[in-house]
A = this chain, B = another copy of it.
Amino acid sequence: MDLTKNEEDYLKALFMLSVEAGTELVGTNHIASGLGLAPASANSMLKKLTDKTLVHYEKHGKWVLTDEGKRIALQLIRKHRLWETFLYEKLEFTWDEVHEVAEQLEHIHSKKLVEKLDKFLGHPEFDPHGDPIPNEKGKYKAVRKLTLSEVPPGAVCKLIAVKDTSAAFLQYVSEIGLGIRSQIKLVDRRDFDNSISIEVDGRQVQVSEKFAINVFVVVV
């Protein structure tokens, strides 16, 4: 009845990769590398999940979640994001620390726990990274996460995550005076190279389009 941690992780990976790729079908190697495993391992696990009718095999090496498989994946994502919200909001974890622990907590089996946690948190719709939290039925709000490069002049937004997590980039981000939850006002954008002027703590800063593409924000 209840799936193992590993089975659950495969279903979640398949869901995430298919959303990311914009197609239902995902190849064996793609799933394997997403989980950091050998293709042979993924192949045999996916065959097992096919027997359990959680995954469907399509032509040569392509896999799709069944409705039931998708339902389970969405519940897992729900749990993951609720736990991230809990760690961030209630236990003073920073946004970059929550994921690793949520990766473990998402596998706790207790329907009551999930529903009570959701209630305790006030039924949040987005996790600390700005990703939507599916409800009990698996439905969720459209993503409101943007990169800084998409924000219109005049808008005020808040930094919620970075795409590039290299030390060099993070160093640059903090030099500018930015961090998680920083308020950013987009002053204007130059058509010439799409570089932008932003206002941070009352100071005005110039950043390139490349920089702006690597910063995720929500408009406040």
Contacts and interface: CB of A to CB of B under 8 A. Distances in A.
Contacts of A105: 105, 108
Contact of A93 (B90, B93, B108, B116): B116
- Dominant SS among interface residues on chain A: helix
Contacts of A104: 108-110
A200 interface: no
Contacts of A93: 112, 116
A84 to B, nearest CB: 12
A117 B91 contact: yes
Contacts of A109: 104
Contacts of A116: 87, 91-93
B120 A97 contact: no
Nearest to A90: B120
A112 B97 contact: yes
A147 to B, nearest CB: 30
A101 interface: yes
Closest 3 interchain pairs by CB? A91-B116, A101-B110, A104-B108
Given A93-B116, A100-B110, A105-B105, 8 more contacts: A87-B116, A90-B120, A91-B116, A97-B112, A101-B108, A101-B112, A104-B108, A104-B109
Interface of A: 87, 90-93, 97, 100-101, 104-105, 108-110, 112-113, 116-117, 120
